[in-house]
Amino acid sequence: MKFLHALTQTAALLSLGLSVEGKFNRARNEACKPKHPFHPLPPSPPRKRTCHVPSNGDGTDDAHHVLSTLRKCNNGGKIVFDEDKEYTIGTAMDMTFLRHVDLEILGTIKFSNDTDYWQENSFRHGFQNATTFFQLGGVDVNVYGGGTLDGNGQVWYDLFHEEALTLRPILVGIIGLKGGTIGPLKLRYSPQWYQLVANSTDVLFDGIDISGYSSSENEAKNTDGWDTYRSSNIVIQNSVVNNGDDCVSFKPNSTDIIVQNMHCNGSHGISVGSLGQYKGEVDIVKNILVYNISMYNASDMARIKVWPGVASAMSEDLQGGGGLGAVSNITYDKMYIDNVDWAIEVTQCYGQKNQTLCNQFPSNLTISDVHIKNMWGTTSGKRDPNVGTIVCSSPDVCKDIHVSNIDVTSPSGTDDYICTNVDESLLDVNCSSG
Ligand SMILES: *[C@@H]1O[C@H](CO)[C@@H](O)[C@H](O)[C@H]1NC(C)=O
Ligand SMILES: *[C@@H]1O[C@H](CO)[C@@H](O)[C@H](O)[C@H]1NC(C)=O
Ligand SMILES: *[C@@H]1O[C@H](CO)[C@@H](O)[C@H](O)[C@H]1NC(C)=O
Ligand SMILES: *[C@@H]1O[C@H](CO)[C@@H](O)[C@H](O)[C@H]1NC(C)=O
Ligand SMILES: *[C@@H]1O[C@H](CO)[C@@H](O)[C@H](O)[C@H]1NC(C)=O
Ligand SMILES: *[C@@H]1O[C@H](CO)[C@@H](O)[C@H](O)[C@H]1NC(C)=O
Ligand SMILES: *[C@@H]1O[C@H](CO)[C@@H](O)[C@H](O)[C@H]1NC(C)=O
Ligand SMILES: *[C@@H]1O[C@H](CO)[C@@H](O)[C@H](O)[C@H]1NC(C)=O
Ligand SMILES: *[C@@H]1O[C@H](CO)[C@@H](O)[C@H](O)[C@H]1NC(C)=O
Ligand SMILES: *[C@@H]1O[C@H](CO)[C@@H](O)[C@H](O)[C@H]1NC(C)=O
Ligand SMILES: *[C@@H]1O[C@H](CO)[C@@H](O)[C@H](O)[C@H]1NC(C)=O
């Protein structure tokens, strides 16, 4: 059944991809091929033994089974989460000791709904108060099998509605992993971001299927697909994301990253940032390639969000500004959009509604060498007559932003852009507003 479902989904994706490709071929007469990682991924020798993870099977905590099986089969083994078994995890698991090990997840791993325990014990990563149910790291770790990780998010969506400072765990914490592949896997009902990739290098994500909606009136918020942080040489590809926040987000010190062949629905786009949130800190995001993306029902496609040069508060859980750093060598290439509010959104006034204040205190975080090209489709019309906005806080901190071959209109046929403090001669769009 699961296999059949996967096949059907692949077929659906393929037909979608082919139509995307056909359109681009007609538009550009140029082949659309997957891109290679910035640096080759290290080899992963075959595993020599297999261990199965027992489960209590009664909803009580299985974390000790997982950790003891990992210790038994670490250094060259494969551990299997059996099909048709549900594993309950009620303890924060530190899995950063892994070496040359595979986790084959066939069944379901579900995190307990004990919000008091998790707020007290989940792993804290400092940046944006991020916490994770577990942390998985080490050297040469592959996680696959097509099974499910379920974050039991509903109880968190409801609690967050009551208390904005609730520390909601991230479903998957890839922390300090050097070499590995993640996927295929299904990720469901994350309390907030689905995946944090921090302090990691040489990791390939392939075939991640993300979905999970709230069944109450309290929305599932901040459900980013991926957030990369202090990480390099990461590939994210061939994945389907149904969520309500960034499909993929490049947070501080994300370098040499490829995101390709993605189907994103309901998201806030593929975002650089937000950056510059923390006063005096230096955030670097460079060498990013976003390629062959289909974006549906989203607020944005290509997005770069930078806080202003001075600290400000937008709301209780969203405050910051005054950071330093640079965004450079960013390419968005081959994108199809449908019902997206902004095809392109570049701002140096993130987290702040007062543009006068942003211009008075220009961002200390520069944006340069940005290439956004080959996009077609239709916006939602929400920003009519505009379909894009490229607003810098000063021309001194925004250079070499190139936009070309964009065939995007609103449902009513308009195609205007707000362009401020930016070299319009490099933008092959109608900068008629702003
Ligand atoms: C939490 O999970 C337990 C055990 O699965 C269940 O009995 C209880 O109803 C759940 N509580 C909430 C608030 O969902
Ligand atoms: C990453 O590594 C740094 C330096 O070793 C450490 O301080 C930090 O806690 C680690 N984790 C994250 C999420 O940054
Ligand atoms: C995050 O932590 C800071 C202090 O480091 C605190 O002021 C802020 O309210 C926290 N935000 C949330 C959402 O918990
Ligand atoms: C583009 O991405 C889609 C998935 O959204 C995939 O099915 C298709 O094969 C990709 N095209 C190429 C040429 O890789
Ligand atoms: C796509 O996103 C929209 C808007 O959030 C949502 O209503 C719809 O159910 C999503 N589609 C799928 C297949 O999840
Ligand atoms: C990011 O990199 C810059 C430049 O190397 C460094 O100054 C800064 O401390 C790093 N930030 C984090 C959060 O690691
Ligand atoms: C800039 O990014 C591109 C991919 O879009 C990459 O091929 C190139 O090597 C990067 N430039 C540098 C200087 O790393
Ligand atoms: C976009 O949203 C509409 C309305 O919710 C839904 O019918 C459609 O299936 C969504 N598109 C995708 C690709 O999920
Ligand atoms: C916006 O910022 C300017 C400059 O700092 C300030 O004078 C003005 O009062 C602010 N406007 C609002 C509505 O806060
Ligand atoms: C950051 O920008 C502000 C306002 O533009 C400026 O006053 C301040 O000196 C800058 N700080 C640094 C460290 O560059
Ligand atoms: C700008 O608008 C004009 C008139 O509406 C149109 O002919 C032209 O194709 C548009 N240019 C671009 C780059 O969209």
242 lines ligand 5 (CB under 6 A): yes
Q: What is the pLDDT of residue 170?
A: 98
Tokens 């989460």 correspond to what residue?
Answer: 81
244 dihedral zone (left: phi>0; alpha: psi -120 to 50; beta): alpha
Percent of the chain whose pLDDT exceeds 70? 91
Q: In this structure, which amino acid lies at residue 103?
A: L
- Whether the Cβ atoms of residue 99 and residue 79 lie closer than 8 Å to each other: no
83, 335, 350 from 109: Cα distances, Å: 11, 34, 37
Tens of pLDDT, residue by residue over 106-119, are 999 999 999 999 99
Q: In this structure, which amino acid lies at residue 187?
A: L
Indicate which residue's Cα is closest to atom 8 of ligand 3.
317
Question: Residue 33 — very low, low, confident or very high, per pLDDT cuts 50/70/90?
Answer: confident
Read off the pTM. 0.93
230 lines ligand 2 (CB under 6 A): yes
Show me where the domains of the chain are located. Answer: 262-434
Distance CA 429, CA 373 (A): 11
Mean pLDDT of the chain: 92
**Strand 318-320 with 312-315, pairing:** antiparallel
- Residues 6 or more apart from 26 whose CB is under 8 A from it? none
Question: Residue 315 — very low, low, confident or very high, per pLDDT cuts 50/70/90?
Answer: low
- Tell me which of 9, 15, 297 to substitute to probe ligand 8's pocket, judged by most ligand atoms within 8 Å of the beta carbon: 297
CATH class of 262-434: mainly beta
21, 301, 338, 342, 423 from 407: Cα distances, Å: 15, 13, 12, 13, 20
Tokens 């804290």 correspond to what residue?
Answer: 124
Asked if pLDDT for residue 30 goes beyond 90, the answer is no
Tens of pLDDT, residue by residue over 201-235, are 999 999 999 999 999 999 999 999 999 999 999 99
Instruction: Tell me the average pLDDT across 370-399.
Output: 97
Asked if pLDDT for residue 425 goes beyond 80, the answer is yes
Q: Which atom of ligand 1 is the closest one to the Cα of 88?
A: 5
